[in-house]
Chain A
Amino acid sequence: MTDQTAPPPRHQTNPVLSVRDFSVDYLGAHTVHAVQHVSLELGRGEILGLAGESGCGKSTLAYGVTRLLRPPAMITSGQAVFHSREGFEIDISALTGEELRQFRWDKIAMVLQGAMNSLNPVISIRSQLEDVFTCHRPDMGRRERLDRCGELLERVGVERRRLRAFPHELSGGMRQRVMIAMALALDPQVLIMDEPTTALDVVVQREILDEIARLRAEFGFAVVFITHDLPLLLEIADRIAVMKAGRIVELNGSFELYTQPQDAYTKRLLASFPSLLGERGDFIRSGAYVPGADETDGKDG
Chain B
Amino acid sequence: MSNTPDPTPGTPPLAPPDLDLVEETGAVERVIERRRSITSLLPSRSPKLIAGLVILAVIVLYAIVMPHFVMDPRAISTDMLKPPGYGGHLLGTNQAGQDIWAQLAYGTGGSLVIGLTVGALATVLSAFFGVFGAYVGGAVDEGFALFTNVILVIPGLPLTIVIGNYVPVQQRGLFLISVVLAITSWAGSARVLRSVTMSVRNRDYVAAARISGEKTWRVLVVEILPNLIPVMASQLIFSVIFAILGEAGLSFLGLGANGTYTLGTILYFANQSLALTQGAWWWFIPPGLMIALLGMALSLVNFSIDEIINPKLRQSTRAAQRKWGLTPAQIKKSQEENLR
Would A and B touch once assembled, by the CB under 8 A criterion?
Answer: yes
Chain A residues with CB under 8 A of B27: 55
Residue of A nearest to B32 (CB): A54
- Interchain CB contact (< 8 A) of B16 among A27, A97, A272, A281: A272
Chain A residues with CB under 8 A of B21: 53, 55-56, 244-245
Give the distance in Å from the alpha carbon of A269 to the alpha carbon of B13 in the complex: 10
Top 3 closest A-B pairs, CB basis? A55-B26, A272-B16, A301-B1
B7 to A: closest C-beta gap in Å: 6
Known contacts: A57-B25, A298-B5. The answer to whether A71 contacts B326 by CB under 8 A is: yes
B16 touches A269 (CB 8 A): yes
A296 touches B24 (CB 8 A): no
Give the distance in Å from the alpha carbon of A53 to the alpha carbon of B336 in the complex: 30
- Asked if A214 CB lies within 8 Å of chain B CBs, one says no
- Asked if A294 CB lies within 8 Å of chain B CBs, one says yes
Residue of A nearest to B19 (CB): A53
B13 touches A273 (CB 8 A): yes
Give the distance in Å from the alpha carbon of A59 to the alpha carbon of B330 in the complex: 21
- Asked if B40 CB lies within 8 Å of chain A CBs, one says no
Stretch touching chain B among A62-70, A125-133, A161-169: A62-70
Chain A residues with CB under 8 A of B30: 54
B25 touches A34 (CB 8 A): yes
Chain A residues with CB under 8 A of B24: 30, 32
B337 touches A26 (CB 8 A): no
- Interchain CB contact (< 8 A) of B14 among A28, A71, A228: A228
Known contacts: A69-B337, A273-B13. The answer to whether A296 contacts B321 by CB under 8 A is: no
A71 touches B25 (CB 8 A): no
A246 touches B25 (CB 8 A): yes
Give the distance in Å from the alpha carbon of A24 to the alpha carbon of B25 in the complex: 11
- Interchain CB contact (< 8 A) of A301 among B3, B22, B324: B3
A296 touches B6 (CB 8 A): yes
The interface on chain B, measured as residues whose beta carbon lies within 8 A of the other chain's beta carbons, has a size of 40
Give the distance in Å from the alpha carbon of A127 to the alpha carbon of B100 in the complex: 63
- Asked if A295 CB lies within 8 Å of chain B CBs, one says yes
Type the 1/0 row for A132-144, where 1 means its CB is closer than 8 Å to any CB of B. Answer: 0000000000000
A74 touches B6 (CB 8 A): no
Pull 19 A–B residue pairs with CB atoms less than 8 Å apart, ordered by A: A27-B326, A32-B28, A53-B19, A54-B15, A55-B25, A55-B28, A55-B29, A69-B334, A72-B320, A73-B28, A74-B334, A228-B15, A245-B21, A268-B19, A272-B19, A278-B1, A281-B1, A296-B11, A297-B4
Chain B residues packing against A (C-beta within 8 Å): 1-9, 11, 13-16, 18-19, 21-30, 316, 320-321, 323-326, 330-331, 334, 336-339
Chain B residues with CB under 8 A of A53: 15-16, 19, 21
Chain A residues with CB under 8 A of B16: 53, 268-269, 272-273
- Interchain CB contact (< 8 A) of B28 among A34, A96, A282: A34
Chain A residues with CB under 8 A of B2: 281, 294, 297-298, 301
Residue of A nearest to B6 (CB): A298
Residue of B nearest to A27 (CB): B324
B125 to A: closest C-beta gap in Å: 33
- Interchain CB contact (< 8 A) of B4 among A29, A32, A244, A295: A295
B4 touches A298 (CB 8 A): yes
B18 touches A55 (CB 8 A): no
B311 to A: closest C-beta gap in Å: 14
Type the 1/0 row for A240-283, where 1 means its CB is closer than 8 Å to any CB of B. Answer: 00001110000000000000000000001100111000100110
Residue of A nearest to B337 (CB): A67
Known contacts: A54-B29, A301-B2. The answer to whether A295 contacts B11 by CB under 8 A is: yes
Chain A residues with CB under 8 A of B29: 54-55, 59
Give the distance in Å from the alpha carbon of A169 to the alpha carbon of B320 in the complex: 39
- Asked if A187 CB lies within 8 Å of chain B CBs, one says no
B18 touches A272 (CB 8 A): yes
Contact residues of A between 16 and 72, Cβ < 8 Å to B? 26-30, 32, 34, 53-57, 59-60, 67-72
